[in-house]
Amino acid sequence: MSTIFLHNFATSPFGEKVRLILGLKSLQWKSVDAELDTAKTPVMQIGADIYCDSRLIADELEERCSHPTIYPGGNRGLCVALSEWSDRPLHISSSGLAIGVNKRDFPTNLMADRKKFFEGFMDIKKIEAEIPHLKSQLRAHAALIEEQLSDGRRFWLGEEPSLADFHAYVEIWTVRAFVPSVTEILRGFCKIEEWENRVKQIGHGEMSLATVEEAHEVAQVSTGLPGRGVEVDNLLGLSKDDLVTVIPDDYGKEPVVGRLVTLSLREVAVERDDALVGKVTVHFPRIGYRIIKA
């Protein structure tokens, strides 16, 4: 496999999710520091192919390196569906708490970015008043994890770790790092702590550091993978080479414009000219993204 660059920052729960996937698969990869206030990190770069959103990154890594699988028992559908819980209500509870209890300590520019990022999902101006509600919500979410583990299983789906574990783990990992009252919130959930330790032991694979300039140089001399074509019955009336805008329909709504080269039930990919590195292919998951003809 060509060099994997992961543009990420250390405290990102979605970054941690990808790092755990890389660890489970014992892959070599290079970590590139992303700005703390960058929306929709992590981003995985392989050559001139740019993969956005941890859901698609997970699928791409599974396709390129299927063993050990992140979908044991053929449970990809379950794991993808579970992300609708972990990436929305659970994430809002955990990240909302992290922001709320640290609002006065976080940099002003970061708070402004989070306000924009969570627009429509969370009112950052009133977040401190929401802390009791967010605590109670997080405890209710944590109870689901505890219940899932209550029969003595080692991981969410049984004896093998899966993407389902990583979905849930990274949100608990976030509050462990940023919320001093986390012990109170998780009081009595003994299975969770044991499970956390098992997931943590998976590690992050073979990581080395790289500069953004190094990653850019690789993209400049690389060519993106050929497009996989556009499904005929895509229900959007789109065709290959159409100029489209791709935008997430949840939070962090940063539009990307490019020439449509792939549209399947799994992903959408556009080819575009980047001012820094030239021609790249940018990939997104199909679920959760709007594709609009420009």
Question: What residues in the chain have per-residue pLDDT under 70?
Answer: 35-40, 104-122, 251-252
Q: How far apart, in whole angstroms, are the C-alpha atoms of residue 164 and residue 161?
A: 8
| All domains in the chain, ordered by first residue | 5-68+207-293 (3.40.30.110), 72-200 (1.20.1050.10)
Specify the 3-state DSSP secondary structure of 167.
helix
- Beta-bridged to residue 206, according to DSSP, are 28
Q: How far apart, in whole angstroms, are the C-alpha atoms of residue 142 and residue 99?
A: 19
DSSP string, 209-256: EE-HHHHHHHHHT--PPPP-EE-TT-SS---TT-EEEEEESSS----E
Residue 1 pLDDT:
73
Residue 244 pLDDT:
98
- Beta-bridged to residue 140, according to DSSP, are none
Residue 37 pLDDT:
46
Residue 165 pLDDT:
99
pLDDT digits (tens, 9 = 90+) for 42-79: 999 999 999 999 999 999 999 999 999 999 999 999 99
Global pTM value: 0.94
pLDDT digits (tens, 9 = 90+) for 218-258: 999 999 999 999 999 999 999 999 999 999 987 667 899 99
Half-sphere exposure (Cβ direction) of 15: Cα atoms closer than 13 Å: 22
**Would you state the structure tokens that stand for residue 63, as one six-digit string?**
């396709």
